[in-house]
Amino acid sequence: MRDETQTPEAPATPQRKLTPANENPWYVLMTLYGEDQHANRRAWNAWAGQALSSEEKRELAESSWSLLNAEADWEAIKSEVESRFESRSQIKLTERLKIPSPMQIVNFASFQFEERLDLMGMIFPSGVDFSGSRFSSGIWMNNAWLGGHPRFDHVQADETCVFSGARFVGRADFGSAKFLDGVEFDETVFCGDAYFSGVRFEGKSSFVCSYFKRKANFSNCNFEKSSIFRHAIFQSEVSFVTSVFVERSDFGEAVFAGDFEGKSRGKTSPTRFSAVDFKGASNFGGAQFVSCYPDFIGAVLHDQTTFTREAPNRELWPDLPDQDTEHARDSCATIRHILAKQGLPEDEHFFFRREMHFAGKIGSIWQRLPYLLFGLFSEYGYSILRPTLWLLGVWALGFAAFWGYFSGCCVPAPHEMIERPMGSAMALSFSNLFPLFGFGRTFLLEELKVLPAVLQFFTGFQTVASLPLLFFLGLGLRQRFRLR
């Protein structure tokens, strides 16, 4: 007997029924010549070119896009295309299809593509909608030109997809897409917002030299294999919030400009890596953060994450970031902690100095004063020259005061003549800077006895001032010679 107390199993989630691509008029139109992709592209672009404005045509003619995509005059091939379209639609379908208007959005929503879809160099003036579709053999859209609002949200691609060199004129939506194999966006241009939130990259993902002119949203993504963003340019806001990088990620020599709505408005936004889990090593070597430090709040960085402090002829980190000062300080502290684990003292101290610099801008003047003095006298423990110059200044001031007194140039003057007043003044001022050696009490006791009260006070001031300066000098020597 069946146990009625057992909880019945939940029914399986019904799979969405996808329409075969052969039943779509746009698919028939873009595959009129079968395997001859050049002829297919030529016919498609001639048809689609009717919807292009004169400005768009001029832009395409001046770009490298035109080198790959030969255009044809629609009127010259119209009859041939219509004849082929009618023949192929009759073979494939019982219902007769009509050639769609080029002003319409190309609708491939919820379609099944069994064979690889080759759209290299094709233009989509009004946009294309692939939302919810499945590419069993991948899709190639190298050098394609996509106007309108192209949609690839919730698609699934079983094999490699290539979008290298494509140009997305409007907002590109890849939200919640799933790429089971590799995907390439090398040298792709996103003129509008790029939305990749919730995408699952199960293969290698590549965005080398891609250009994001507006917002780029990669929040809540899963990068299962290596992800490469080398030389990519993020002109506006970019977010990787709560994403996971399972293997190595490479942001080497990428540029994060952070202009929120363009430089004219003066608004910037930091690159957001908050709550990101970098399970693999990440490379930010040579990456340039133009106006803001990255936001690593709550992020888990791999111990082998790479950062570069400087590059020839390029400022990688902003001196005056356009962001909250506490966030800039915390970002520098996070990076410094990672570099300390790697045993890179020069790089570590660079971000330590930036951290101290921003700390000196937070709070009241009394809270900021220690950091300001630390920077003024020693460049936050990095400089050898600064504390040395301050020590020379304190010594020179004492030398001038003592020499004036010993020479009888001041009032009051010493009761007895001091032999070699210049040498005595130099020695006494020097001994005050190094009291631990006892030079003053051993060799200059008589000179100390005849000093008036004001100069005795100044002697004590020299001694007190020299102690932190000597300490700062020691910090600089320790940093320079890697002493631990």
Max avg pLDDT among 40-54, 58-72, 328-342 = 328-342
pLDDT given at position 399: 85
Map 219-282 to HEC letters: CCCEECCCEECCCCEECCCEECCCCEECCCEECCCCEECCECCCHHHCCECCCECCCCEECCCE
CA distance 407 to 26: 102
pLDDT category, 183, cuts 50, 70, 90? very high
b/e map 286-313, b = 16+ CB within 10 Å:
bbbbbbbbbbbbebebbeebbbbbeeee
Residue-wise pLDDT tens digits, 255-278: 998 765 444 444 567 788 989 999
CA distance 32 to 81: 8
pLDDT category, 12, cuts 50, 70, 90? very low
- Tokens 């790429």, residue located: 179
**109 phi and psi, to 5 degrees?**
-65, 130
Tokens for 242, please give them. Answer: 């709560």
pLDDT given at position 263: 45
Partners of residue 178 on adjacent β-strands: 156, 200
The more confidently predicted of residues 260 and 90 is 90
Tokens for 328, please give them. Answer: 């800039």
Assess whether pLDDT exceeds 60 at residue 13: no
- pTM for the model stands at 0.82
CA distance 469 to 457: 19
pLDDT given at position 66: 56
Residue 400: how many other CB atoms lie within 10 Å: 12
Assess whether pLDDT exceeds 80 at residue 412: no
Per-domain boundaries in the chain: 19-349, 385-480
Q: Report the C-alpha dihedral over residues 331, 332, 335, 338, rounded to 10 degrees.
A: -120
pLDDT given at position 168: 95
Question: Which regions of 267-363 does DSSP assign to beta strands (E)?
Answer: 277-278, 282-284, 288-289, 306-307
Residue-wise pLDDT tens digits, 291-347: 899 999 889 999 999 999 888 888 899 988 888 899 999 999 999 999 999 989 999
The overall longest dimension of the chain from CA atoms, in Å, is 125
